[in-house]
Structure 1
Amino acid sequence: MTFEKMIETMAPEVYRSLRRAVELGKWPNGERLSQEQRETSLRAVIAYEHRHQVAEQERVGFIDRTRPDGRQHGSDPLQPETLKILTDD
């Protein structure tokens, strides 16, 4: 089975279990994930979220930048910034 096929057919319970394992760094039985297991599991979680169109605010790694008044904290890192060059003329 290919990685893509595995993601396509993955049950939501398996996704939640993998996500929890990545978050805690250990399997449900308490055994620690190796670095390779953690990386592979994280890759599977991200691919699952993309494939199954999980809402952005529910995805692993999401940071809520909304203030209580609805404005955003900081600037959007994906938007270009305008630089202002000051000279001593």
Structure 2
Amino acid sequence: MDFTAMVSAMAPDTYNKLAEAVATGRWADGTPLSAEQKEQTLQLVLAYQSKVLKSQDIFTVGPDGQIVHKSKAELKKQFSDPAAIARFSHDDL
């Protein structure tokens, strides 16, 4: 089985476990990842994000294999909440 086929066949639960291991540096049982395991696990996580999730989240790998970057204006637009509970101007306080 080649790398791309393995990534495409990976279950979402497996991806989540690998992503958590990369983020924490430890397997679910608490055992630390070796340097080789970190490298290979990170490659799998990035490939899964690119090939399966086709993620457009910032600082993930997009479908084209490039890191997704967004401008400050794009981020403000993405995270603006028009249904905010309350907004106050400086003079209201």
Q: TM-score range by the shorter chain?
A: 0.5 to 0.7
- Counterpart of 1:66 in structure 2: which amino acid? K
Other-structure match for 1:55: 55
Higher relative contact order structure (alpha carbons within 8 Å, sequence separation ≥ 6): 1
The alignment-based identity, stated in percent, is 33
- Once the two structures are superposed, what CA deviation does each residue of 1:5-51 show, in whole Å capped at 9, x if it has no partner? 11010000100100000000000000000000000000000111111
Match of 2:76 among 47, 50, 70: 70
* Alpha carbons of structure 1 residues 28 and 63: separation in structure 2 relative to 1, 3 Å: farther
Other-structure match for 1:43: 43
- Between the aligned partners of 2:70 and 2:24, the Cα distance in structure 1 is 21
- Counterpart of 1:70 in structure 2: which amino acid? K
How many pairs are equivalent? 70
Unpaired stretches in structure 1, ≥5 consecutive residues: 72-89
Deviating above 4 A after TM superposition, structure 1's stretches of 4 or more consecutive aligned residues are 60-65
Other-structure match for 1:32: 32
Displacement after TM superposition at 1:54 (Å) = 3.2
- Counterpart of 1:43 in structure 2: which amino acid? Q
Local SS of the residue matching 1:56: coil
Local SS of the residue matching 2:26: coil
Local SS of the residue matching 1:57: coil
TM (norm. structure 1) is: 0.64
